[in-house]
Amino acid sequence: MLQQILKELAPTETTLVAVSKTKPVERIQQMYEEGQRIFGENRVQELVEKEAVLPKDIEWHQIGHLQTNKVKYIAPFVSLIHAVDSLKLLKEINKQALKNERVIDCLLQFHIAEESSKFGFDEAEVKEILNSSAFKNLSNIRIVGVMGMATFTSDEEQVKLEFRHLKEIFDGLRKSFFSTQDSFKEISMGMSGDYQLAIAEGSTMVRIGSLLFGSR
Ligand SMILES: *Cc1c(COP(=O)(O)O)cnc(C)c1O
C-alpha cells in the first residue's frame, strides 16, 4: 500500500506523513525499512515513547491538538507541529525551542470544517497574531504553512470547497505576510478518506493513517 500511495503522490510532489498513532513500533519499523521517513502521531506520550526506540533519522510530526504543558516533551526532536491553534501555544513552542537551541517548524491550523468540534483559527485571528509585536519576538519558531481538516462527510463537493478555502487562506497569507519567506510553502490537508480531493485542491502534505496501516 505504501508504494501504491507514493506512486500516486509522486506527480504532484506531495509529501506523505504516515500517521502511525495507536500502531506498534514494529509496524513503524517495517514501514521505515520500506523507505518511509516521515511519521505523524497525535498523542505526545505515544510520540515520545516511539521516538526513543525507533531510528533517529525519522522525522516526527505532531499532527493532533497539542496542549501547552506537553510541548516540552517533544521540543527536543519534533520536526513539524501541524496543529498550532493559539498564540499561547506558539509562545510555549518558542520558549521550549529556545531551551533546546533550535527552531521549530509549525503550521497554523485553520477551522475549515462545518463541525464546531474541530480546532483551529479563523483568518482574522491569524492576521491579528501575525501583526502583533508578541509574534514578531518569537525567534525560535518558523511558520511554514497551514493545516486543516475537512468535514467528515460523503459530500465530496463540500469537502472540495473546504480544501479550496484553505488554499485561498494560504495564498492570502503568503502574499500579505510571507512573500519573502520561501519556507512558507506547506498546505497540510487530506487524510485516508479525502486525500485525492485535497491534492486536487493544492495540498502539499497529506496525513494518511488507516489506509496505510489498516483501521484503528
Ligand atoms: C488520525 C489523523 C489523521 C489520519 O487519519 P486517517 O483517516 O486514518 O488517514 C490525519 N490527521 C490527523 C490530525 C489525525 O488525527
Q: Which atom, in ligand 1's list, is nearest to the CA of 82?
A: 13
pLDDT band of 119, cuts 50, 70, 90: confident
Convert the pLDDT of each residue in 61-72 to its tens digit: 999 999 999 999
Domain with residue 169: its CATH number is 3.20.20.10
In this predicted structure, the answer to whether residue 207 has a pLDDT above a threshold of 80 is: yes
Structural domain including 128 reads: 2-213
Q: Is the pLDDT of residue 84 over 70?
A: yes
Q: Is 191 in the pocket of ligand 1 (CB under 6 A)?
A: yes
Considering the chain, what is the average pLDDT of its residues? 97
Q: Is the pLDDT assigned to residue 139 strictly greater than 70?
A: yes
Please report the sign of the dihedral spanned by the C-alpha atoms of residue 130, residue 83, residue 6, residue 171: negative
- What integer pLDDT is reported at residue 115 of this predicted model? 82
Show the cell assigned to 195. Answer: 486525500
> What would the pLDDT profile of 159-194 be if each residue is shown by its tens digit?
999 999 999 999 999 999 999 999 999 999 999 999
Which is the closest atom of ligand 1 to the Cα of 215?
A: 8
| Entry pTM | 0.97
The atom of ligand 1 lying closest to the CA of 192 is: 9
Cα–Cα nearest to 97, from 76, 66, 121, 115: 76
Spatial neighbors of 104 by CB under 8 A, at least 6 apart, are 75, 78, 81, 93, 94, 96, 97, 140, 141, 142
User: Percent of the chain having pLDDT more than 90?
Assistant: 97
The residue with cell 505504501 is 2
Q: Which amino acid is at 97?
A: A
Buried/exposed code over 53-80 (b: 16+ C-beta within 10 A; e: otherwise): ebeeebebbbbbbbeeebbeebbebbeb
Per the structure, the count of domains in the chain is 1
Residue 118 has pLDDT above 70, yes or no: no
- Where are the extended beta strands (E) located within 63-137? 80-84, 104-110
Q: Closest Cα to residue 178, out of 102, 126, 112, 125?
A: 126
Q: Is 147 in the pocket of ligand 1 (CB under 6 A)?
A: no
The response to whether residue 207 sits with its C-beta less than 6 Å from ligand 1 reads: yes
